[in-house]
Each structure stands twice: as C-alpha cells, then as structure tokens.
Amino acid sequence: MNIKIQANPCFKEVNQSQLRYIVMKGSAGSGKSVDTAQNYILRLMQDKGRNLVCIRKSDITNRDSTYAELTGAIYRMFGDKAEKYWNIKLSPLTLTCRANGNQIIFRGMNDDKQREKLKSITFQKGKLTDVWVEEATELTQADFEIIDDRLRGELPSGQFYQIRMTFNPVNKNHWIKKNFFDRQDPDVLTHHSTYLMNRFIDDAYLRRMERRKEVDPDGYQIYGLGEWGEVGGLILHNWEIKDISQNLNDYDDVAIGQDFGFNHANALLLLGFKDDNIYILDEIYVYEKETAEIIPIAIEKGFPKNRVMWCDSAEPDRIKMWKKAGFRASAVEKEQSEKKYQTAQIDWLKGVVSKDKVLKRKIYVHPHSTFTIAELQQWKWKKDDRTGEYLDEPVPFQDDAMAALRYGVEGWRKKKRWLV
C-alpha cells in the first residue's frame, strides 16, 4: 500500500498523544484540520474497533468541512485507489474502512433532537472511541458535556478514548479557554499552531496575511497568530447557515453579485430574494484568475445568464467580457461617496428602512458557500485606536464576498428606481 502523507512537524506531539482531550487552537491556514483528518484516516485503518464521530454545531456544515477534509485526505493519500480502501457515502454522510469495518459518521448539536441522536449512536463493529469537534467555539459547555459523557466504558487493552477540538480562538472569555488553557489537567494536551508553521502554505496566502497584519491588527492576532482575542464590532448578525433550495424558481427574484479581483479574491454570489429575505445560494471565490478563466467556472456551476449580474463599476473592461459571454452584467451606480454608499447598502442588508423602522430581514447561506461564511464571521467595523470605539467604516480585508453581496442586492435595494 503506497500512502502519500502531507505532514507538518508541529503536529507530531498531537498525533502521538493518547490523552483524552486534545485542544488545538490556531490561526487560519495553520493546517490543523488537514492534519487532523489525515491522522484519523490512518488511525482508523490501523486500529480495529475504533469509530469516529465528527461534530459541528450545525449538522449540515459537516458536509463542507469535516466530511470534505476527510474525503480529501483519503483521495490525497491513496489517489485512484481511494475507494478500494474506503467506502465513501454522501447520503447519509458516512465513511467506512473496508478492511476492518471502522466507521466515521457526522452529527450536529443545534437542537435537542440532534443531541438525542448523539446519545443513541451505535456501531456495527467496536465502540465510539474518537470525537472530532471542528470549530469547537461554536459549541456551548453543555453541548461538550453531552459529547464527553458518550466516551465511557471499558476498552480492549491498548485502546483509548479521545476528543480532538480544532478552532480559531476568537473569544478570550470562552469556556474552552477557562476549562482547558487556564488550568492544568493531566488528561489535556493543548496545542497552538499558525500559518507560519504550515510547510504547504502558498505564497499568495502569505501575502494575504501580511496585508491583514497592516489593515486589521486585531483580526490578525486571531486569524494570523492564533492568539486569544475577540472579534468585536461584527457588521452583520442577522444571518444563518441553512440548507436552502437551489431551485431558482422557488424565489421571487434571482441576481448575481460580483466583486472583481486578482491578487485578492474575485467573488461571485448567486442570490435569491423572497419575502424580504436574502438567500446566498452559491459562490465562486478564486485567486489569481483572469476573467476569461472565471467565465467557464460560472457556466459550469450553472450561474444563470438571464439574470442581472451587478458588478463593481471600477472594471468596465471586465464587465464587457461578461456581456460578450452572454451574461447580463451591469455596473452598480455609486451615487454618493464610497463611505455613504457602503453604509446605505449595509443598512439595507440589516433591514434598516429608517430610524424608526427595521425589518426582520434574514440572510440565509447555503453551507457549501464556505468562503462567504468565513467572511460573514469576521466582517467588522474599524476601531478607533485612540478611543477604542468602532467607526462606521468596514475593515478593508477579506471582504470580497461581502462586496459581491452588497452589489448583488442593488436591484432590490433600489427596486422602485430599477423598475422605472
């Protein structure tokens, strides 16, 4: 059996540990999730009787995070022989080692029904021995106690129970910090990693993080250095991840928003609008690609040509290329200063109609729009270094999908003018 391993030395201690709790905080791009997935594939192939459950707060987000990482590890390690060794199922999400019957399943902790499903997990062979909690800061301490209580009972000689938690340390007041980092426990191994420790990081990502260091020092502490912090001043709170319909006929209207980029991301969002709510159906989020390379991606993903595509007005030549390809690309009209223009768009996204009227507008995001979700989680207002107060100006970093979102809703925000 030829196996291709992608190893970062900084995770050696973690992968060799048999302690009950492995708590891994780190920056974005540190490789902690990639390494975790690879380690579990190796462990479950080697040790008979072990089974893994992957946990996210919202069950549906597993498909584009833990499941994607694990299947990616299998195909990377075994190439075209991947399915010779693993039975890979998408419905329900399940991975089964063909040699010994060890399984990987996926669960959420979003409501009482999902929590009860976790309590009743059984496997055809062996016991539940391993738990991977991805984005662990999403969970409450009560959620974690339910998970921890599932790992009990006598195991065969040489086996052990283990929970591995991976996350960006966004909140210095989080229960994970208090329980695992602020006190010593012989059953706990804490680990810290950054993108600078990842041997496989690309140069474009390094440049991107250097830019973040300059424009968003608070965010860089968390997402660049993996240090405990707090992402305060978040711009949007009225959004949630949901398995929304991909049928365009289910919406009152559909549009596309595009923010042009090359060194930073070129982002396109396919948006639906219904009952004053916004639905982010799909995304294209690519670096260092020309428009001629992005157009085929949009066609392949089924972005409709008969719907309006609102684009950044600063790139008229690129808009012409989209039009030539058959898309209804149009430039947004910025009728006021950039700052006032952005503020007006953000207010509309929040549902602000006037000082006295705010709609209960929701923004629903399909779980496969992972880059958009990442931006929504950290898109925030600038902070005044002198006063510590937040300003009415977004931090100009990792906001490409947010720009595409702002542009994409222009037809609905200016509905009366647009109809005229």
pTM of the full structure: 0.81
Question: Is it the case that residue 160 has pLDDT exceeding 80?
Answer: yes
Statement to judge: residues 168 and 247 lie in one domain: no
Per-residue pLDDT, 419:
44
Whether residues 331 and 262 share a domain: the answer is yes
159 and 29 inside one domain: yes
Q: For residue range 195-205, list pLDDT tens digits in order.
A: 999 999 999 89
CATH number, domain at 99? Answer: 3.40.50.300
Taking only the tens place, the pLDDT of each residue in 226-255 is: 999 877 789 999 999 888 999 999 999 999
Q: Largest alpha-carbon pair distance within the chain?
A: 76
The domain in which residue 406 lies consists of 239-419
- Is 407 within a domain? yes
In a domain, 217, yes or no: no
Same domain as 146, residue 274? no
Residue 62 has pLDDT above 70, yes or no: yes
What b/e readout covers 388-403, taking b as 16+ CB neighbours within 10 angstroms?
Answer: eeeeeebbebbbbbbb
- Measured distance CA(315)–CA(300) in Å, rounded: 23
pLDDT band at 416 (very low <50, low <70, confident <90, very high): low
Q: Indicate if 175 and 260 belong to the same structural domain.
A: no
Looking at residue 417, its pLDDT comes to: 47
Closest by CA to 369, choosing from 342, 338, 405, is: 405
- Residues 212-225: what's their mean pLDDT? 89
pLDDT, mean over the chain: 92
pLDDT value of residue 63 = 92
Q: In this structure, what token pair is assigned to residue 199? A: 């041997």
The rounded distance, in Å, linking the Cα atoms of 243 and 239 is 13
Statement: residue 97 has pLDDT above 90:
yes
pLDDT tops 70 at residue 332: yes
pLDDT in tens, 125-137: 889 999 999 999 9
Structural domain contains residue 225: no
- Count of structural domains within the chain: 2
CB 55 within 8 A of CB 235: no
* pLDDT for the residue 355: 65
Percent of the chain with pLDDT over 70: 98
Q: Which ranges of 63-154 does DSSP label H, i.e. alpha helix?
A: 66-78, 82-85, 112-119, 141-149
> Picking from 28-42, 142-156, 378-392, which range would have the lowest pLDDT averaged per residue?
378-392
Residue 221 lies in a domain: no
Q: DSSP state, 192?
A: E
The distance of Cα 140 from the centroid of its chain, to the nearest Å, equals 19
Q: Are residues 14 and 158 in the same domain?
A: yes
- 122 versus 165: the higher-pLDDT residue is 165
- Decide which of 182 and 170 is more confident: 182
CATH of the domain at 281: 3.30.420.280
pLDDT of residue 411: 94
Shared domain check, 28 and 122? yes
For residue 59, pLDDT over 60 is answered with yes
Q: Decide if 115 is inside a domain.
A: yes
> Binning pLDDT at 50, 70 and 90, where does residue 271 land?
very high
Residue 222 lies in a domain: no
Tell me whether residue 395 is in a domain.
yes
